[in-house]
């Protein structure tokens, strides 16, 4: 008897919600500051988190292809729970560092495997054309979860900045039973033989041999790294414009709701206006968001943060779908992990510099530099993205 795709989809929603119900995010910078950290150390911790992800990112995607997406998601979910448990019991930089490494390993095992399992579940049921819609819904679930967590985290932080971390551990644990009850789609077929040479071969194919896939991955990764960077600027921006702490959770909630809403309708927008207008549109809006937030250091700058987050909601499901369309099932998780790998490499390279610049000079300048980096890198990669995807100039 063929299982309904909803069996896996529902559990993937739970895993996504557990991952993104981030009680800690609205107050994480305040928590770090309470424990004696500056912005440079904050970005160093996030760079270490990115390096931890990078260390297992591509191998984890290959593990998912070779050992099964379900097994990989189980291990990743357990590590996610353990990471937040370590965080909740730590009081300084080195304890936080250990927690970030454990969380990074867990995140690397989940990223790629979840999207690959979703796509192959739909493919097995001949519904792969619905992938962008479901990926958008999964992103929406994650962002709606993060939005609700913003309010809850703010309320918990009013009692103690450590309370959100205690409850975060319990929420992370919810992903464990959800992962255990997934099923592996038959379309995935016989597990491929695992070897380091095979991993290198897939990386070479994705980033060197296949030009179309290369520029899809690079462009998507540059956009992803830029949206990640802005997410870590937001709370410092709130502090810089003297927003009351009580508003942090509310605004974090509204920002993530905006991502969730546009992610829900991203597939409709792309079908309505076409690929090139969609991609060019959200690229321009992201750039405007960077420079607007940098040079409007007042409450009115929230407008630029919101348009940035709205564009982010469209960008993620659309660009991931383009990669999936040109990737075969036997290496899908590995390819998606390569994308996440590149995102984290970019962030690990630039993040500590942004943190240092913020502490040494100004947040305004750091955001402006991040915007300039985005414009240059995305402009180059967009040109080749369009050239390789539409060689005859078609939409």
Query: pLDDT by residue (tens digit) across 278-329?
Result: 888 999 999 999 999 999 888 899 999 999 999 998 888 888 888 888 888 7
Torsion sign over Cα 286, 314, 70, 119 = negative
For the chain, what is the total number of helices (H) and then of strands (E)?
Answer: 17, 0
- Integer distance in angstroms from the first to the last C-alpha of the chain? 41
Averaged over 341-370, what is the pLDDT? 91
Q: Rounded to an integer, what distance in angstroms lies between the CA atom of residue 165 and that of residue 379? A: 39
Torsion of CA 341, 347, 349, 352, to 10 degrees: -140
pLDDT for residue 193: 53
**Superfamily (CATH H level) for 5-182+208-389:** MFS general substrate transporter like domains (1.20.1250.20)
102: left (phi over 0), alpha (psi -120 to 50) or beta: alpha
pLDDT for residue 288: 96
Q: Which two tokens stand for residue 117?
A: 């399992």
| Residue 87 · residue 96 · CB < 8 Å | yes
Q: Is the pLDDT of residue 1 over 60?
A: no
Q: Rounded to an integer, what distance in angstroms lies between the CA atom of residue 23 and that of residue 151? A: 8
| Residue 85 · residue 103 · CB < 8 Å | no
Averaged over 354-372, what is the pLDDT? 93
Q: Which two tokens stand for residue 164?
A: 């959100």
Q: Which two tokens stand for residue 55?
A: 């260390």
Q: Rounded to an integer, what distance in angstroms lies between the CA atom of residue 291 and that of residue 286? A: 9
* Domain spans in the chain, listed from the N-terminal domain onward: 5-182+208-389
Strands (E), the chain: none
């Amino acid at each position: 008897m063929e299982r309904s795709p909803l069996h896996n989809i529902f559990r993937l929603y739970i895993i996504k919600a557990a991952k993104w119900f981030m009680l800690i995010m609205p107050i994480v910078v305040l928590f770090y500051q309470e424990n004696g950290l500056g912005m440079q150390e904050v970005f160093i911790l996030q760079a270490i988190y990115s390096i931890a992800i990078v260390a297992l990112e591509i191998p984890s995607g290959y593990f998912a292809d070779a050992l099964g997406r379900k097994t990989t998601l189980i291990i990743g979910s357990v590590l996610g729970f353990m990471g937040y448990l370590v965080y909740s019991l730590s009081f300084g930089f080195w304890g936080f560092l250990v927690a970030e490494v454990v969380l990074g390993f867990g995140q690397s095992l989940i990223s790629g495997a979840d999207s690959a399992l979703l796509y192959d579940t739909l493919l097995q049921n001949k519904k792969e054309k619905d992938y962008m819609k479901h990926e958008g819904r999964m992103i929406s679930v994650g962002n709606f979860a993060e939005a609700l967590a913003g309010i809850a985290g703010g309320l918990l932080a009013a009692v103690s900045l450590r309370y959100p971390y205690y409850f975060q551990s319990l929420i992370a644990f919810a992903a464990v039973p959800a992962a255990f009850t997934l099923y592996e789609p038959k379309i995935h077929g016989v597990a491929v033989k695992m070897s380091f040479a095979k991993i290198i071969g897939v990386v070479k194919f994705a980033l060197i041999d296949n030009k179309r896939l290369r520029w899809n991955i690079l462009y998507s990764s540059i956009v992803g790294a830029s949206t990640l960077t802005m997410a870590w600027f937001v709370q410092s921006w709130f502090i810089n414009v003297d927003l009351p702490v009580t508003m942090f959770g509310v605004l974090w909630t509204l920002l993530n709701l905006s991502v969730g809403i546009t992610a829900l309708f991203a597939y409709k927008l792309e079908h309505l206006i076409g690929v090139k207008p969609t991609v060019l549109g959200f690229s321009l809006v992201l750039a405007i968001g960077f420079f607007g937030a940098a040079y409007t250091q007042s409450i009115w700058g929230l407008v630029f943060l919101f348009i940035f987050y709205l564009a982010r909601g469209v960008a993620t499901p659309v660009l991931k779908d383009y990669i999936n369309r040109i990737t075969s099932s036997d290496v899908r998780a590995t390819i998606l992990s390569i994308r996440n790998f590149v995102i984290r490499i970019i962030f690990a390279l630039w993040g500590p510099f942004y943190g240092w610049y913020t502490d040494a000079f100004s947040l305004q300048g750091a955001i402006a530099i991040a915007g300039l980096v985005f414009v240059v890198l995305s402009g180059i990669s967009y040109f080749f993205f369009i050239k390789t995807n539409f060689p005859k100039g078609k939409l």
